[in-house]
Amino acid sequence: SKLLYCPHKSCSSPLQVELSELPSNQPSTCPACGKGFCPRCRIPGWHKGYTCTEFQALPAHLRSAEDAAVLQLSEKQQWKQCPQCKQMVERSVGCNHMLCRCGCNFCYGCG
């Protein structure tokens, strides 16, 4: 067994778990605070739309449940990220030439 801590800042209760008994790609609930979390990725909430392996392969700055939800939505909406500042942008009209608010010029089609 292994000692894990609830990833919610308001709780952080210790939880003793059997790693072999952790549900694969399913959220768990902390018995102390009742909030959901991913026991394998150790994040509050859940990385909906990603398996644990896919989520852990994301760059470190994108590994939160909220970031995973935005990335999932951006794929559906076909939004792109600025190659310089990583801000999400959407082309609504015009050509593929984009000027991000950070000053970066890039092609919406190929990045």
Active site residues: 95
For the chain, how are helix, strand and coil distributed in percent, rounded to 5? 25, 25, 55
Q: Which two tokens stand for residue 28?
A: 């768990």
- Sort 33 into a burial class: Cβ within 10 Å, 0-12 / 13-18 / 19+: middle
For 22: left if phi > 0, alpha if psi spans -120 to 50, otherwise beta; the answer is beta
Contact between 88 and 70 (Cβ < 8 Å): yes
